[in-house]
């Protein structure tokens, strides 16, 4: 929370530019929907979501009701009820995705690619899962089989994010590499699941060198 004001100002500056353009695009595409007015601004909603992911907490309900509402109500004077905030979170998906793109680094001389699993439910609840039914898939990670997605990340040697993509859990690791490396010009390191001989040749022709990193 030490950089709360700095974070909000950055998000708010982004929203002042992005939201009018997004609204105009929605009108052009006929995608405008009538929605209830909200006391909290989109910048505030996005800031809360980002703060949760920056915190050490894993339960959003406890973070929102037990921490944010108790200790930072003065920072968010129009803070909504937990239930209402959950209803509004889907509205922030597109702005958050666009905001994320503005934060990606362009320093890609030395990069590393890897993935992590995103489980959407316990394996025993897969037949009853509805939220991502038809989208999430069964896949295998280092901790065994799971149901959900893979988050693929390319970072540089400074730990800054260069590119990211979410795929169903059953997709091969090599599937998103071509898209993720469109603007890479340096050397990309990854385990054998990412760097196939065919892909290595394709990347080399585009000026991206590849290397193998050993699993720890």
Per-residue pLDDT tens digits for 78-94: 999 999 999 999 999 99
- Token duo for residue 87: 């209803």
User: How confident is the prediction for the chain on average, in pLDDT?
Assistant: 88
The closest alpha carbon to 42, from 17, 66, 63, belongs to: 17
More confident of the two residues 202 and 166: 166
Q: Give the mean model confidence (pLDDT) for residues 31-56.
A: 87
Determine which of 15-24, 32-41, 57-66 has the lowest per-residue pLDDT on average. 32-41
pLDDT of residue 67: 93
Q: With a cut of 90, say whether residue 29 has pLDDT above it.
A: no
Q: Give the mean model confidence (pLDDT) for residues 206-214.
A: 61
Per-residue pLDDT tens digits for 123-164: 999 999 998 998 999 998 888 899 999 999 999 988 899 999
SS (H, E, C) the chain: CCCHHHHHHHHHHHHHHHHHHHHHHHHHHCCCCCCCCCCCCHHHHHHHHHHHHHCCCCCHHHHHHHHHHHHCCCCCCCCCCHHHHHHHHHHHHHHHHHHHHHHCCCCCCEEEEEEEEEECCCHHHHHHCCCCCCCCEEEEECCEEEEEEEEEEEEECCCCEEEEEEEECCCCCCCCHHHHCCCCCCEEEECCCCCCHHHHHHHHHCCCEEEECCCC
Phi, psi (rounded to 5 degrees) for 6: -60, -40
Q: With a cut of 50, say whether residue 214 has pLDDT above it.
A: no
Q: With a cut of 80, say whether residue 45 has pLDDT above it.
A: yes
Distance CA 139, CA 119 (A): 10
Phi, psi (rounded to 5 degrees) for 128: -100, -5
Residue 132, Cβ density class (10 Å: 0-12 exposed, 13-18 middle, ≥19 buried): middle
């Amino acid at each position: 929370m030490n950089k709360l004001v700095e974070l909000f100002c950055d998000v708010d500056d982004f929203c002042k530019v992005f939201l009018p353009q997004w609204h105009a695009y929605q009108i052009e595409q006929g995608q405008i929907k009538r929605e209830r007015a909200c006391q909290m601004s989109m910048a505030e909603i996005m800031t809360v979501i980002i703060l949760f992911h920056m915190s050490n907490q894993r339960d959003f309900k406890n973070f929102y009701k037990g921490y944010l509402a108790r200790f930072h109500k003065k920072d968010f004077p129009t803070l909504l009820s937990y239930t209402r905030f959950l209803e509004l979170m889907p509205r922030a998906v597109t702005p958050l995705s666009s905001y994320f793109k503005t934060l990606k680094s362009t320093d890609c001389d030395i990069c590393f690619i890897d993935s992590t699993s995103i489980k959407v439910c316990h394996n025993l609840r897969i037949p009853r899962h509805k939220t991502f039914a038809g989208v999430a898939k069964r896949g295998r990670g280092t901790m065994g089989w799971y149901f959900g997605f893979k988050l693929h990340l390319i970072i540089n040697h400074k730990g800054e994010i260069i590119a990211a993509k979410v795929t169903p859990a059953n997709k091969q690791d090599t599937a998103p590499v071509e898209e993720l490396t469109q603007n890479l010009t340096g050397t990309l390191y990854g385990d054998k699941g990412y760097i196939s001989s065919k892909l290595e040749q394709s990347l080399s022709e585009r000026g991206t060198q590849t290397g193998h990193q050993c699993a720890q």
